[in-house]
Amino acid sequence: MANRRRPRHLVVVLGDQLNLDAAAFDGFDATQDLVWMAEVAEESTHVWSHQARIALFLSAMRHFRQRAEAAGYRVDYRQLEDAENRGSLAAELAAACQRLRPELLIVTEPGDYRVQEALRATAQEAGLPLEIRSDRHFLCTKAEFADHAQSRKQLRMEFFYRELRQRTSTLMEEGKPLGGQWNFDAENRSAFGKAGPGQVPPPVRFSPDAVTKDVLRLVAQRFADHPGRLSHFDWPVTPEEAEAALQDFLDNRLPRFGQYQDAMWTAEPWLYHSRLSAALNLKLLDPRRVIQQAEARLEDGVPLAAVEGFIRQILGWREYVRGIYWHFMPEYLERNALEATQPLPAFYWTGETEINCLRHALGQTLEYGYAHHIQRLMVTGLFALLLGVRPQAVHEWYLAVYLDAVEWVELPNTLGMSQYADGGVMASKPYVASGSYIHRMSNYCQGCRFKPTERTGPTACPFTTLYWDFLRRHEHRLRSNPRMTMQLKNLARIPKMEQAAVAEAAQRLREQYA
């Protein structure tokens, strides 16, 4: 490459931008332009990343390089194990700019504010113009979200979602929501009952090919001290595999997705979930196609409640959290509305705890790099919220341990929805519950030495103790929130003496997990 003449455009492709139809490629001329990619250790170490997360990104990037070269693109690619690898994106790009002297740098909008700023600074230092192009993968642009936000005192996903349904004519009939209602929550969100989930169709798995095997070896050697395991690695790393995963989900699990989307069960990590988040976030899969394909299943008799429940996650939540991220960054990252200061318990990194629900949710996370939404929100996230963990520590953990973690999607979910650290931008009230919720939605309590209904005493459920203590500690903040009235009324029914005992028990837990 060094002998070729100076490229016109250097198209920077980041590890979560693996779609050849991205705006960065518009006008690409293979005779003059060059694609630039780099695997750098910093992206795996700035948070202590799960080994499978590192492997997923590296394998998907290497497969993308193959696709791009097969399509005739010239690619300047830095591998992690290259002796002269400088370890950070900024250092690698600066060196590439010096070596190649392109006229212009082009990139699709990064998914991470930190990376965007690093690219800007690097381009400026190199004295090169940087063109950041809109990310067409998403259905709502940053500017459209800003318009939506501008006209409102309060942001709520539901209204944003309805606007997008109308704008994209998704699940609409003559200007009205299909089936006469916007959501079917009442029909969704069942538990399995004592008998459990029974036989759930297992998801399609993808055996590692030669490229992935190389990456797995590299990660095992280079990141041996990182959390998580590689032995189950079976994730889609190409668009073809992502498409097969989509079809497998639509054929086998979509019909029961809505009904059981909140249920949890031991040794059943996937249940009726799609496992598509990582493929979507790496842009191996187009959300429009996912939505259209799900909607088309109505014709095969898949219930509207299931289809709507699934589409709401992609067209609603996924687009909404991206809007929130870019609307409020960079100050969003520092928010701590509940002034939480506790460190993250060390067992989050090992899964070694006697708290059974946490042991299962954490164990599964470390094993696979995956937990479904309710495990993230109402087990691992809930415990951190109730304990009073500093939200930035919780954020760093979530960004590290999930395969699908990219900051634009992880941060609002963690800091906002789960930890209420944004003071109510994402959620209209804190998602707090006692151990009874976990008892209702799972079988975790059956194997636990604690009792979900007990708030004090030797077998008190830590969630239940901390739940009542949370309400007590934050009563003054929550009193003005009408959605908290019922929970605070229940708190008021607890005699003051018992509230004091709860406070003491909660304090002991905080000391135990500090």
How wide is the angle at C-alpha 385 spanned by C-alphas 379 and 389, nearest 5°? Answer: 120
Query: Of 444, 467, 468, 470, which lies in the binding site for ligand SF4, with binding defined by CB under 6 A?
Result: 444
Give the per-residue contact string, 284-303, with ligand FAD (x = CB under 6 A; - = no): --------------------
Indicate whether 276 belongs to the interface with ligand FAD (CB under 6 A): yes
Query: Of 16, 404, 422, 469, which lies in the binding site for ligand FAD, with binding defined by CB under 6 A?
Result: 404
Query: Of 305, 345, 435, 487, which lies in the binding site for ligand SF4, with binding defined by CB under 6 A?
Result: 435
Rule CB under 6 A: which of 332-391 touch ligand SF4?
355-357
Query: Of 445, 466, 491, 506, which lies in the binding site for ligand SF4, with binding defined by CB under 6 A?
Result: 445
Between 132 and 355, CB nearer to ligand SF4: 355
Segment contacting ligand FAD (CB under 6 A): 350-358, 372-380, 493-501, 503-511?
A: 372-380
259 with 274: CB under 8 angstroms? no
Count the site residues for ligand FAD by CB under 6 A. 27
- Looking at 447-495, list the stretches that DSSP marks H as alpha helix, in order from N- to C-terminal side: 462-473, 475-478, 485-492
- Name which of ligand SF4, ligand FAD, none residue 237 binds, using a CB cut-off of 5 to 8 Å depending on partner kind: none
State the nearest-atom distance from the C-beta of 310 to ligand FAD, in Å.
Answer: 6
Tell me how far apart the terminal alpha carbons of the chain are, to the nearest angstrom.
53
Indicate whether 413 belongs to the interface with ligand FAD (CB under 6 A): yes
How wide is the angle at C-alpha 253 spanned by C-alphas 247 and 256, nearest 5°? Answer: 140
State the nearest-atom distance from the C-beta of 210 to ligand FAD, in Å.
Answer: 27
In single-letter form, the type of residue at position 496 comes to K
- Name which of ligand SF4, ligand FAD, none residue 246 binds, using a CB cut-off of 5 to 8 Å depending on partner kind: none
Indicate whether 506 belongs to the interface with ligand SF4 (CB under 6 A): no
Tokens of 320: 């909404």
SS3 content of the chain, % helix, strand, coil (to 5): 50, 5, 40
Indicate whether 290 belongs to the interface with ligand SF4 (CB under 6 A): no
Paired with 38 in beta bridges are 78
Indicate whether 183 belongs to the interface with ligand FAD (CB under 6 A): no
Tokens of 459: 């077998």
390 with 342: CB under 8 angstroms? yes
Indicate whether 184 belongs to the interface with ligand SF4 (CB under 6 A): no
Between 203 and 452, CB nearer to ligand FAD: 203
Which residues, including other chains, have CB under 8 Å from residue 453's CB and lie 6 or more apart? Answer: 435, 436, 461, 464
Segment contacting ligand SF4 (CB under 6 A): 28-36, 192-200, 221-229, 437-445?
A: 437-445
Indicate whether 463 belongs to the interface with ligand SF4 (CB under 6 A): yes
Beta sheet of 9-12, edge-to-edge order: 75-78, 34-38, 9-12, 104-108, 130-133
Between 276 and 338, CB nearer to ligand FAD: 276
Cα–Cα distance measured from residue 494 to residue 489, given in angstroms and rounded to the nearest whole number: 9
The phi-psi region of residue 208 (left if phi > 0; otherwise alpha if psi is between -120 and 50; otherwise beta) is beta
Indicate whether 392 belongs to the interface with ligand FAD (CB under 6 A): no
State the nearest-atom distance from the C-beta of 63 to ligand FAD, in Å.
Answer: 20
State the nearest-atom distance from the C-beta of 203 to ligand FAD, in Å.
Answer: 9
Query: Of 47, 377, 460, 509, which lies in the binding site for ligand FAD, with binding defined by CB under 6 A?
Result: 377
- Name which of ligand FAD, ligand SF4, none residue 392 binds, using a CB cut-off of 5 to 8 Å depending on partner kind: none
Indicate whether 156 belongs to the interface with ligand FAD (CB under 6 A): no
Between 255 and 452, CB nearer to ligand SF4: 452
384 with 353: CB under 8 angstroms? no
Closest residue by Cα to residue 155 from 467, 475, 425, 435: 425
Is the peptide bond between 287 and the residue preceding it cis, with omega within 30 degrees of 0? no
- Name which of ligand FAD, ligand SF4, none residue 183 binds, using a CB cut-off of 5 to 8 Å depending on partner kind: none
Cα–Cα distance measured from residue 2 to residue 5, given in angstroms and rounded to the nearest whole number: 8
The DSSP letter of residue 414 is I
Cα–Cα distance measured from residue 251 to residue 418, given in angstroms and rounded to the nearest whole number: 31
State the nearest-atom distance from the C-beta of 141 to ligand FAD, in Å.
Answer: 17
Cα–Cα distance measured from residue 216 to residue 338, given in angstroms and rounded to the nearest whole number: 41
Tokens of 113: 């504010």
Cα–Cα distance measured from residue 506 to residue 469, given in angstroms and rounded to the nearest whole number: 7
List residues near ligand FAD by CB under 6 A. 273-277, 280-281, 313-314, 317-318, 321, 372-373, 376-377, 381, 398, 402, 404-405, 409-410, 413-414, 417-418
List residues near ligand SF4 by CB under 6 A. 355-357, 435, 438-439, 444-445, 448, 450, 452, 461-463
